[in-house]
Amino acid sequence: MKHKYLVFPLTLTVFFLLIWPSASLFLKSFQFAGPALFNYGQLVLDPVFRTALAHSLLLSFGVAMGSILLCLGPAWLFARKEFHGKRLLRSLFTLPMSFSGIIIGFIVVLMLGRIGFLPQMLERCFHHAWFSGLAYRFGGLLLAYLYFEIPRATLTLESSLRKFDFQLEAAARSLGANRWQRLAYVVFPLITPALFSAFAVTFCVSLGSFGVALIVSKRFFIAACGTLSAIDRLS
């Protein structure tokens, strides 16, 4: 019973740094510009808010789905296999976590900008600068956020897959199930919570990250600035 008091400092920290500020901000949001639900109705009714919200949700959803598809295989490999260089490879996968969003944005510009490294190399080899300026479009923003979320998706999936009972797959194989049947009826139903966890982590982080969009995409940056201006008008 004495050990339960060990969580007391963390509980206080979470309360004063997360719960109390969030609750205070939520209550104050009902005090500005008209009726109580007016501010939240503006998210749907105001074109500026609606565009920014749609951009953010679309980008975050695409990044979350792309992260799961890209990282499920490596996470399965890290959880199931032992091989030389495993620690080094895992370190490379977690390297993007050491960079801020602004640095990643600059990396994407250097690689996929109008005079980026990749377009210049393609122009020298094939006389056509493919992907030139991709960094400033939705595709470049999606790639930047994917790079940013790869470590989180990989680590989240790996930690969950380590709890997977691989004997169940072996039992299904011994009963005559082929590879696709084992995936459909044994593996995926059991790893569904891990997939949802990875999706939630990458979606929330992408939705709350602004540094990459600030550097990479002028269109998304303009939408976000419009949202901030609208908020300032409401308050």
- pLDDT, one tens digit per residue, over 45-67 is 778 778 878 888 898 999 999 99
Cα 198 from Cα 66, distance rounded (Å): 11
pLDDT tens digits along 70-104: 998 889 888 888 888 888 888 888 888 878 778 88
Cβ burial 155-180 (10 Å sphere, 16+ → b, else e): bbbbebbeebeeeebeebeeeebeee
Tell me yes or no: is domain 49-234 CATH 1.10.3720.10: yes
Domain boundaries of the chain, sorted by first residue: 49-234
How high does pLDDT run on average in the chain?
A: 80
- Please give the pLDDT value at position 33: 54
pLDDT average, residue stretch 17-26 = 86
